[in-house]
Amino acid sequence: MTTNPQRPDDWPTDDFVTTEELLRRHAARPIVTVEDLAATEDPFESDTEHDEFLADLYASRRADVG
């Protein structure tokens, strides 16, 4: 995992979109207030999907420990 917004050297050039371009395409705007956050849609369709996301996130974070 990387926080670098640049295309990795071994990544196909036709399959890479910069962070800035993704933000532009989705008309994303920063969340400024708590009210903005409360007004956003839930990105998960179900509690099960949320639980699976968290399990995968925690597993990926533990994969580098050791």
Domain positions in the chain: 17-63
Which is nearest to 23 in space by CA: 5, 1, 40, 41?
5
Distance CA 35, CA 37 (A): 5
pLDDT at 25: 92
pLDDT at 66: 60
pLDDT at 17: 83
pTM for the model stands at 0.41
Q: Which residues of the chain have pLDDT under 70?
A: 1-9, 11-14, 65-66
